[in-house]
Amino acid sequence: MYAIVNIKDKQFKIVENEYIYVPHICKNIGEQILLNQVFLFCKQGKLILGNPFIEKINVKIEILQHIKGKKIIIFKKKRRKGYKVKNGFRPLFSKIRIISFLFK
């Protein structure tokens, strides 16, 4: 049993009782959230497609921790001009656990 959901404008394949890393969610650690933007749901080989979302299914998740990812380097250069700029940042992620799929 799995689903394809929209979290922060990105699509993730989720399975019950598994952990995934998603872009930072501005909620407290330990808080439980309902996701209602489910694109696809599969249970025992039967697919349910939304148009664009499935209205009958919600996903309950729990936020476990907030972490920083690996550093991403941005290097800009214009040849023969002496222009070089090196910047970097570490993106924020949230580790979430999928608790259950809720049917209305």
pTM of the model: 0.83
Please give the biggest Cα pair distance in the chain: 63
36-93 confidence digits (pLDDT tens): 999 999 999 999 999 999 999 999 999 999 999 999 999 999 999 999 999 999 999 9
Domain boundaries, the chain: 2-67+96-103
Fill in the DSSP letter of residue 51: S
**Residue 104: predicted pLDDT:** 85
User: 33 with 25: CB under 8 angstroms?
Assistant: yes
In this predicted structure, what is the pLDDT of residue 6?
Answer: 96
Query: Does 22 have pLDDT greater than 90?
Result: yes
* 48/71 Cα distance (integer angstroms): 38
Q: What is the mean pLDDT of residues 28-32?
A: 96
Task: Name the percent of the chain lying above pLDDT 70.
Answer: 100
Q: Tell whether the model's pLDDT for residue 30 goes beyond 90.
A: yes
Instruction: Find how far residue 70's CA is from the centre of its chain.
Output: 17
